[in-house]
């Protein structure tokens, strides 16, 4: 090779080497973040930062066409399918969208589409860009036969079993659906459920989900459908893939069809025809989006005519007839005044950021959970820092980062207290969480009472956080069972307590005595036991006493109970404090259940079996799964060494092959009916 010469050539070489290095670096970074996002549902950077990297790569590839590569992430969508689920190839590949944060580029898009349309008149729809997990449902003759994640756009994961547990996804379409249709949309975790889920994860010492999208992705990729079901996912649909027979003429007509078939669509679909009206609709969507149950990160502008969509086609990555306009994340800067500690009902010490009040996404924020000590260390957040605040999932105030460049040296590193700030007892570490070790800690007691009275548990209206604090303070409540010894006279002695509120509260308390057993079970606050497992436990054991004396082995026969939960339940009932609590609740007359419940399932003939369902059955897969679970069996999504039975309907595919390969017994529907009666 010749020595590099001086002059312009050297300059050119130099620039190009730098560009090459940067392109490789960006591609590697983007690939890595893609994997974290799509395959592990655990992103390390925000969508906004990711889009920044992608844009830089796009513009470098444009400026240096010699560096373009067909393997570049600028030409591909998303991640590779997960290993554990069976692969599912989409009949029509799932594309992604070009996106922009700039009103100028949005205008350019509208102009470009008008140009392509020449002098034909065109309309656009403006829809929310739902920030969930993309999903494609395949319906054949109106029956849901497969649900798949996007994966790399061509092949995704078969997540049918999990999707069947999502309550607003119909297993059968109403009306006159086509023979074969792929319906595209997003699975999401409602914002309110996200807030609750993260609070529970803090309490249990688990790392929080960064946003509802991650929580939804984590949920849909749980291999156990029972876990998916307990997360309360929902879905919304906005497009189609394959569609046999007559197709509608416009996107709006397609939405009307989806709705007629019983599929949920977005509650707001706006319209526009030129730059001005499209821009106005995008701005309006920006206001409306906070009211939606799902998190949104933008608006999708689509040409309405399906014939023109076909005519204009796509680039390597995205259609020419649509664009996603992304809203800048709503963030605010403020001062971190202090970090205080909140003690949860199981004793978890959660650090809380005390902030100089600041307005963000529609409300004033003065506190934000910092989740746990490791989170503070990872983000290097110090007391006195200027911090960036946003609302995770548009609901939970969160500290995004500390502005380290604004430090003046007076900032203090946070240190976790060595004893409980409420009762002074020693603390010990469990997972990422520090816990107060004193079960009679006052703060824990307050939280336990709040949880016991909450909507998800004994549902005692009026007994919320403020009143519980007041009652504990005035020593009227020293534990859960004291709720049932409250009387009118002592209530009336409290500040701000009138006749009417006192009577209402006493009536609500009275009413709660006969609540079903599962509510009491949830209310007791047994670690890891939530609504779903409380219901399952009540269904299986019928009485609190039967549950209290159940062995771990017996607990493990319940579908939604794993080893950690079984151990926790056992330990809870063995603790003398909890035994005393049980006896005092019995003596105040709470419903502990009845042993001869007529609806109780007694037949557990499938205990110990693990089933996978595949192909088309005459009943829905969920009905078949229910029947198996009722008889004590487990249902999972993919065939493995643990599978004991494969129920194969018509046109069973790869799962049947895998079962044969592993020597798993295969049953047809007739044999299944025989076994299950
Ligand atoms: S249309 C070919 N409409 O955003 C058109 N996508 O960043 C494909 N998304 O891949 C999609 N809301 O997963 C469309 N109203 C909406 C959407 C939407 C969310 C997702 C979808 C897409 C991604 C692109």
Note the pLDDT tens digit of each residue in 240-297: 999 999 999 999 999 999 999 999 999 999 999 999 999 999 999 999 998 899 999 9
Note the pLDDT tens digit of each residue in 342-372: 999 989 999 999 999 999 987 899 999 999 9
Structure tokens at 492: 């009336």
Cα-Cα end-to-end distance for the chain: 81
> How far, in Å, from the CA of 324 to the mean position of ligand 1?
8
Residue 635, helix vs strand vs coil: strand
Pocket test for ligand 1, best of 324, 325, 327 (most atoms within 8 A of CB): 324
Cα separation, 166 vs 229, whole angstroms = 7
Pick the CATH number of 442-587 from 1.10.150.20, 3.40.50.300, 2.60.40.10, 3.90.1150.10: 1.10.150.20
> How far, in Å, from the CA of 129 to the mean position of ligand 1?
6
Average pLDDT by consecutive 10-residue portion of the chain (677 residues)? 35 63 89 73 74 84 81 63 76 93 95 95 97 95 94 91 86 94 95 84 80 84 68 91 96 97 95 96 93 93 96 88 92 96 93 95 90 93 96 86 96 95 93 88 93 93 94 93 94 92 94 92 90 85 93 83 87 92 92 64 70 86 79 80 87 86 85 80
What is the per-residue pLDDT for 503? 94
Q: Whose CA is nearest to atom 22 of ligand 1?
A: 96
What is the per-residue pLDDT for 597? 44
How many H-runs (helices) and E-runs (strands) does the chain carry? 24, 24
Structure tokens at 494: 């409290």
> Ligand 1 pocket: which residues have CB below 6 Å?
95-97, 99, 127, 129-130, 134, 186, 238-239, 300, 319, 322, 324
Structure tokens at 547: 């549950």
Pocket test for ligand 1, best of 90, 127, 129, 216 (most atoms within 8 A of CB): 129
CATH no. for 87-326 = 3.30.470.30
Give the dihedral of Cα atoms 30, 33, 35, 39; nearest 10 deg: -140
Note the pLDDT tens digit of each residue in 559-587: 668 788 899 999 999 999 899 999 999 99
DSSP category for residue 157: E
What is the per-residue pLDDT for 11? 37
Q: Please state the CATH superfamily assignment of the domain spanning residues 332-436 in this structure.
A: Nucleic acid-binding proteins (2.40.50.140)
What is the per-residue pLDDT for 632? 74
* Closest residue by Cα to residue 126 from 281, 296, 326: 281
> How far, in Å, from the CA of 76 to the mean position of ligand 1?
15
Q: Which fold has domain 610-676?
A: Rossmann fold (3.40.50)
Query: What distances in angstroms separate CA 577 from CA 436, 573, 581, 662, one per listed residue?
Result: 16, 9, 6, 49
> How far, in Å, from the CA of 582 to the mean position of ligand 1?
52
Q: Whose CA is nearest to atom 12 of ligand 1?
A: 129
Burial 425-443 (b: 16+ CB within 10 A, else e): bebeeeebbbbbebeebeb
Q: Which residues are catalytic?
A: 129
Q: Where are the domains of the chain?
A: 17-75, 87-326, 332-436, 442-587, 610-676
Q: Which fold has domain 17-75?
A: Helix Hairpins (1.10.287)
The model's pTM: 0.64
């Amino acid at each position: 090779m010749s020595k590099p010469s001086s002059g312009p050539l050297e300059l050119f070489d130099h620039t190009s080497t730098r560009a090459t290095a940067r392109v490789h670096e960006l591609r590697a970074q983007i690939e890595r973040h893609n994997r974290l996002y799509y395959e592990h549902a655990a992103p390390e950077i925000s969508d906004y930062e990711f889009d920044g990297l992608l844009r830089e790569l796009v513009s470098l590839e444009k400026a240096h066409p010699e560096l373009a590569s067909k393997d570049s992430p600028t030409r591909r969508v998303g991640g590779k399918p997960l290993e554990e689920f069976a692969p599912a190839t989409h009949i029509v590949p799932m594309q992604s969208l070009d996106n922009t944060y700039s009103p100028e580029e949005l205008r350019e898009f509208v102009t470009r589409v008008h140009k392509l349309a020449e002098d034909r008149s065109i309309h656009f729809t403006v829809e929310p860009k739902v920030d969930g997990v993309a999903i494609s449902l395949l319906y054949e003759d109106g029956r849901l036969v497969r649900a798949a994640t996007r994966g790399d756009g061509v092949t995704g994961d078969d997540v049918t079993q999990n999707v069947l547990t999502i309550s607003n996804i119909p297993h059968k379409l109403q009306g006159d659906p086509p023979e074969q249709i792929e319906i595209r949309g997003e699975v999401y975790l409602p914002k309110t459920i996200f807030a609750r889920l993260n609070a529970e994860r803090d309490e249990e010492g688990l790392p929080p989900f960064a946003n509802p999208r991650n929580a939804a992705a984590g949920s849909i990729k749980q291999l156990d459908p029972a876990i998916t079901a307990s997360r309360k996912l929902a879905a919304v649909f906005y497009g189609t893939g394959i569609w046999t027979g007559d197709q509608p003429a416009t996107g709006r007509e397609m939405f009307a069809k989806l709705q007629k078939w019983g599929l949920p669509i977005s509650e707001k679909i706006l319209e526009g025809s030129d730059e001005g009206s499209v821009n106005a609709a995008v701005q309006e969507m920006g206001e409306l989006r906070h009211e939606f149950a799902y998190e949104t990160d933008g608006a999708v502008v689509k040409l309405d005519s399906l014939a023109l969509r076909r005519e204009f086609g796509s680039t390597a990555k995205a259609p020419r007839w649509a664009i996603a306009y992304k809203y800048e994340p709503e963030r605010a800067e403020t001062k971190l005044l202090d970090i205080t500690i909140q003690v949860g009902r199981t004793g978890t010490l959660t650090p809380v950021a005390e902030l100089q009040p600041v307005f963000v996404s529609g409300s004033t924020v003065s506190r934000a959970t910092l989740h746990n000590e490791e989170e503070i260390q990872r983000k290097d957040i110090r007391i006195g820092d200027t911090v960036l605040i946003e609302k995770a999932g548009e609901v939970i105030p969160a500290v995004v980062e500390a502005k380290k460049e604004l430090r003046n040296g007076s900032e203090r590193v946070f240190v976790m207290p060595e004893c409980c700030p409420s009762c002074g007892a020693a603390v010990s570490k469990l997972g990422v969480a520090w816990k107060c070790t004193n079960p009679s800690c006052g703060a824990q007691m307050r939280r336990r009472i709040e949880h016991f009275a909450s909507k998800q548990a004994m549902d005692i209206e009026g007994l919320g956080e403020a009143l519980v604090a007041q009652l504990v303070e005035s020593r009227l409540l020293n534990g859960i069972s004291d709720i049932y010894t409250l009387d009118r006279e002592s209530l009336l002695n409290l500040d701000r307590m009138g006749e009417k509120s006192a009577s209402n509260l006493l009536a609500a308390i009275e009413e709660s005595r006969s609540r079903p057993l599962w509510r009491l079970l949830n209310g007791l606050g047994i670690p890891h036991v939530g609504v779903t497992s409380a219901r399952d436990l009540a269904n299986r054991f019928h009485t609190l006493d039967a549950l209290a004396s159940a062995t771990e082995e017996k607990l493990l026969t319940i579908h939604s109970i794993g080893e950690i939960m079984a151990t926790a339940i056992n330990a809870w009932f063995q603790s003398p404090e909890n035994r005393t609590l049980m006896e005092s609740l019995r003596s105040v007359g709470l419903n502990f259940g009845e042993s001869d419940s007529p609806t109780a399932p007694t037949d557990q003939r499938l205990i110990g079996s693990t089933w996978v369902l595949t192909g088309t059955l005459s009943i829905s897969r969920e009905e078949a799964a229910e029947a198996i679970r009722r008889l004590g069996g487990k249902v999972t999504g993919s065939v493995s060494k643990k599978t004991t039975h494969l129920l194969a309907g018509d046109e069973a595919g790869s799962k049947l092959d895998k079962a044969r390969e592993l020597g798993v017994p295969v049953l047809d529907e007739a044999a299944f009916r025989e076994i299950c009666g």
